[in-house]
Amino acid sequence: GASPDITGLIGQYAHGNEPSHHVLYMYNYVGQPWKGARLLRQTMTELYRDDPDGLCGNEDVGQMSAWYILSSMGLYQVEPAGGRYIIGSPLFNKATMQVSGGKTFTIVATDNSKENIYVQSAKLNGKRYTKSYILYDDIRKGGVLELQMGNKPSAWGTKSADRP
C-alpha cells in the first residue's frame, strides 16, 4: 500500500512532529485512558512498518523509534522529569527490560489482541494497581506489571487519584 503522509497526521494529531508525541497520552491526565488507547494502536500500526522507510517524520536522534519502543511496551514518559511513565496500550503480550542491579521489569498484557486494546485492570507485583501511570522508581526496583486487556473501554485509571 501507499506509505502514510510523512507528517503522520491522524485528525489534527501530527505524529511526524516529535513535540506532539505526548499528546495521545494526555487522555490519562483527564481520566479517559481508553481514548488514547485506540489512537495509540492506530499510530503504532499505521505509521510504523518493518521497512527501510518504516516511520513517519524525521528520526531526529532516535525520538521516533524511542516513542515506538516505549509505546509498544505500553509506557511513555510524557514529562521529561518527575519519573512518571504513562500507561498506554501495549502491542506486545510480554516485554522484559533489564533494570538496575541485574533485576528485570516485565510488562504482561493478558488477553492482548488487535481488538483487546483497552486496559481493564492492572496488578503491580501481584497487587491491584489502579493508577494509569507507573513511577520510574517502581520500574527500577524490578517486578511485574500485569495489564488485563479487553475490547471495551473500562473505568480503570479514571478516578482523580489514579491520574498522572
- DSSP assignment of 116-147 equals --EEEEEEETTEE---SEEEHHHHHT-EEEEE
Would you say how long the chain is, in residues? 164
Say if residues 24 and 14 touch (Cβ distance below 8 Å). Answer: no
Each residue's pLDDT expressed in tens, for the chain with a length of 164 residues = 444 555 566 776 777 667 788 899 999 999 999 999 999 999 999 888 888 877 777 777 788 888 899 999 999 999 988 899 999 999 999 999 999 899 999 999 999 999 999 999 999 999 999 999 999 999 999 999 999 999 999 999 999 999 99
Q: Which domains does the chain have, with CATH numbers?
A: 9-162 (3.30.2080.10)
Cα–chain-centroid distance for residue 49?
17
| Strand pairing class (104-110; 143-150) | parallel
